[in-house]
Structure 1
Amino acid sequence: MTDGRDDLLQTDPFDCAPLRLTVDLAALADNWQDLARRSGRARTAAVVKADAYGLGIEDCGLTLYEAGARDFFVAAASEGETLRAYAPEARIFVLSGIWPGQEETFFENDLVPVLASEEQLAFWMSVLSERGPYPCALQVDTGFNRLGLSVEEALALAEDVSRPTSFEPVLVLSHLHSGDTQEAESNRQQLDLFRKVSAAYEGVEASLSASAGIFLGPQYHFDLTRPGIALYGGQATSGMENAMRPVVTAEARIVQIREAKAGETVSYGGTHRLARDSRLAIAAVGYADGYLRNLSGSGVPLRSAVPTGAFGFIAGRQVPVVGRITMDLTIFDVTDLPKNAIRSGDYIELFGHNIALDEVAAAAGTIGYELLTSLGLRYERRCLGEDEI
């Protein structure tokens, strides 16, 4: 017999956490394999920057590596350093390039800098003069006006016979600014410019397409595609049904269910006045957890443009957020649920299989990328592998 304390010690923290996040690693692997098929003859990389879009670079990196990914993209050298232990034989490209003082991090972890400016090129040439040959990639701007050498600079570099023989780019890449819009004329314009650049770097692999570009067709695929948001279940293109499997489910625990009278107000500022006697579920999630204040049912400027705020999902129904979302708490109207359908301690889905990530993002006037990368530190996380689904 036990005195009950052993049972308390054995309680899974996930089962009693105020906030929890489930990451479906099997769905992540399936999404990568789906995108690899869609990429045709091109190899398919995996973008795992921003802690794998908020879902954990360690678990996601290992899953993608085991699924077959051998090229990865991160934003910072520190991310590449972490990833290296989980993707031992992969090429890891660092999109922010390299700066003085980072050389040993790159060399010790076999990271490939993506050079995006004349200044970075000059520094890299000085590094090569001391170290000798080492791979790099070149970022070329074809109309985004973000990072990258201009097309003219890239073409001049390709023709520069005085460049050191130790300068060995292994990849030239660019990025579509409207790849998510199939009919955008700029896609074709950027494609034409990138073809000129890639042709100038004969024998060097080329990459133009992130998630959205994969759906534009094989002419955009070149040698390597670089999916990001689509891996994690997000919507990559507008006007098309999302073909990806959901990867992440966010849930919050209901702290209290309270009765409120018609005419009473809800949350800060009293911006929502109840039109009927209501039942309100107070959930342990707020904007400190990445459940953005713009998702509020009222009391934020966005509601004049997007009339409806977010919904949660519980007991088989969607229930609306009412009033302003606060730092730690959100209020849902559960009046239309059967009286005994829910109780304090139950979990309400914020997004996942029943409410699409991008549907919630649209209610906040933003995109799924921001919701995922804004997830706070208070979620108890659980990763599901193929044998647990």
Structure 2
Amino acid sequence: MSAAILTIDLSAIADNWRALNRLSTCETSAVVKADGYGLGAARVARALAEAGARRFFVAVAEEGAVVRQALGPGPMIGIFSGHMDGDTDLIAAHDLTPMLNSAEQVLHHMERMPAQAFGFQLDTGMNRLGMEAAEWAAIRGISLPASPVLVMSHLACADEPDHPMNARQLREFAGMTADVDAPRSLSATGGILLGKDYHFDLTRPGVGLYGGLPFVDARPAVALDLPVIQIRDVSAGETVGYGNTWTAPRDCRIATVAAGYADGLIRAMGPNISLYSGDVPCPLAGRISMDLISADVTDLAQPPETLSILGPGQGVDALADAAGTIGYEILTSLGPRYRREYRG
């Protein structure tokens, strides 16, 4: 076996949705964009539908088509990017629901697909997607009678509970939608954890479904086991890897495994992580390279056949911290060379 094995626990993802659903005081949807945060949108969406999710969100229409093919008719599939030029046929063919982000998108949608379900996305301070207050005021009178299925916005700082931006955006959203006769949605995973004032009619958990922060009670959803290609003895004073950055402090046994930064294992994390044999950490020896990682396995009783980089000893957010990034980037970077195995 030369390919690393990425194990995806669909039952953990479903359990995480159930847990976040219990924390929500309203309906709970599921965000499955970026190929289900790198774990396979079709498989993930089916598991979440079986758990009870009836509304799903993706970033672009092409992703929505994949999810519709997996789920069949019925569940709503919302498109965060809205109705873009060239999307009309996909939206129609797969019954997708664009979240319209501008007056131009509203006109585009109404002209081409007046009978197709849609929602609105409002900007409450993030300055990324959605209509600002003045633009919303200008179009709402002619648009709301068309019966949007959702009016939503997105929190910029929900992973920091005490950040004043959260309360500011809550006030702005409540004010912009005070007399809107349509379901409203403000919160993703972090917003759910901020409490019921942020929940409105629909929550939209994403990263928490997949075991990432800020949902500290999430079940881990992924494990990654790397096959050992070679084990060699290295004498004290010898170096390992590019740049001679690691020097053996003693006579060592070094295992080299099949994975690297081409597989989403970021080079910068190398000095701050270990590989694991069961619960025994094996420090890295040298740099993470494109296809290979070496680790010091001297203290193991038996030569390992595999070493783990994601598992009980080291989760997604630990890797993220080691690389100076966030768990989202680790999950969505897990590469295509892994052999994916699904549980649950």
> TM-score, normalised on structure 2?
0.96
Quote how far apart the aligned CAs of 1:17 are: 4.4
Note if contact 1:315-1:337 (Cα within 8 Å) is conserved in structure 2. Answer: no
Give the distance between the partners of 2:7 and 2:144, measured in 1 at CA: 50
Match of 1:362 among 315, 318, 321: 321
Quote how far apart the aligned CAs of 1:334 are: 1.6
Q: Counterpart of 1:9?
A: none
Q: Aligned partner of 1:137: which letter?
A: G
Give the distance between the partners of 2:75 and 2:288, measured in 1 at CA: 42
Quote how far apart the aligned CAs of 1:227 are: 0.4
Identity within the alignment, %: 44
Q: Aligned partner of 2:306: which letter?
A: Y
Q: Aligned partner of 2:112: which letter?
A: V
Q: Counterpart of 2:91?
A: 106
Q: Aligned partner of 2:137: which letter?
A: L
Q: Aligned partner of 1:233: which letter?
A: G
Match of 2:294 among 298, 315, 331: 331
Q: Counterpart of 1:21?
A: 6
RMSD of equivalent CA atoms = 1.5
Note if contact 1:48-1:73 (Cα within 8 Å) is conserved in structure 2. Answer: yes
Give the distance between the partners of 1:205 and 1:260, measured in 2 at CA: 64
Give the distance between the partners of 1:177 and 1:164, measured in 2 at CA: 26
Matched, 1:221 2:191: no
Q: Aligned partner of 2:303: which letter?
A: I
SS at match of 1:135: coil
Unaligned residue ranges in structure 1 (runs of 5+): 1-15, 298-308
Matched, 1:171 2:150: yes
Give the distance between the partners of 1:173 and 1:164, measured in 2 at CA: 13
Q: Counterpart of 2:254?
A: 280
Q: Counterpart of 2:303?
A: 342
Which of 1 and 2 has greater Rg? 1
Unaligned residue ranges in structure 2 (runs of 5+): none
Note if contact 1:315-1:342 (Cα within 8 Å) is conserved in structure 2. Answer: no
Q: Counterpart of 1:139?
A: 121
Q: Aligned partner of 2:251: which letter?
A: D
Note if contact 2:121-2:130 (Cα within 8 Å) is conserved in structure 1. Answer: yes
* 1:336–1:107 distance in 2 versus 1, CA, 3 Å: same
SS at match of 1:288: helix
Matched, 1:319 2:278: no
Matched, 1:187 2:169: no
SS at match of 1:366: coil
Q: Counterpart of 1:352?
A: 311
Q: Counterpart of 2:28?
A: 44
Q: Counterpart of 2:68?
A: 84
Note if contact 2:2-2:229 (Cα within 8 Å) is conserved in structure 1. Answer: no
Quote how far apart the aligned CAs of 1:221 are: 0.5
CA deviations on 1:111-137 (whole Å, 9 max, x unpaired) are: 001111232123123224xxx332211
Note if contact 2:2-2:258 (Cα within 8 Å) is conserved in structure 1. Answer: no
Q: Counterpart of 2:228?
A: 254
Match of 1:199 among 175, 178, 182: 178
Quote how far apart the aligned CAs of 1:69 are: 0.3
CA deviations on 1:355-375 (whole Å, 9 max, x unpaired) are: 111111110111111111111
